[in-house]
Amino acid sequence: MRNKSVVTEAREIRVASDLIGLDARLQVLESETQLSRERLLRLYKELRGKSPPKGMLPFSTDWFMTWQPNTHASLFMAIYDHIDKACALEEVEVLIKAYRLYLEQVGQLRLTAVLSFTRAWRLVKFFDCGMLTTAPCTRCRAPFVVHTHELVDRFICGLCHMPSRAGKTRPRPAAPLMN
């Protein structure tokens, strides 16, 4: 019986270390592992060299509905669903693998990751409790994150019908001087 508890504790430490490496908040670590808060704090400080950030976790589904977060959330959920169906893993392991693949994909596209690990974790929790789901875009047929009880028979995603102000938040580079 002692061997099983040692293996379980080692697994919990590995999962906590993976989560800390992905910048998971302390509340996420507490939810996904059986390690004590004190142990998690020590591990966090050991791995990151600082205390974990404080504050409340994101709690609204509305953040995921704006065009850029929705696109990233939809990409993440497509990856998450694929891994979940293809592999016999625990939910936290699927989440870790899906988030790493999400980061890899946005990096290859030279995009900035919009979804933090904590937001990705919260997104999965919103799906688990039935607050969010996916619906196919009527134009491109790709599945996008929507509110569960939203009318989606004529749903058009934010990529097929991009908002007029999309991508205009960054300052434009200065025009070259003409001599």
Q: Write out pLDDT tens, residues 1-28.
A: 455 566 688 999 999 999 999 999 999 9
**Domain assignments of the chain as residue spans, ordered by start:** 2-48, 62-147
Residue spans of the chain under pLDDT 70: 1-7, 165-179
- Per-residue pLDDT tens over the stretch 117-131: 999 999 999 999 999
Residue 179 is predicted with a pLDDT of: 43
Spatial neighbors of 25 by CB under 8 A, at least 6 apart, are: 52, 53, 57, 118
Q: Which residues contact 97 (CB under 8 A, 6 or more apart)?
A: 83, 87, 89
Torsion angle, CA of 127/132/136/140, rounded to 10 degrees?
-100
Three-point CA angle 160, 105, 127, nearest 5°: 70
**CATH number attached to the domain at 62-147:** 1.10.10
User: What per-residue confidence (pLDDT) applies to 166?
Assistant: 64
Q: What is the pTM of this model?
A: 0.85
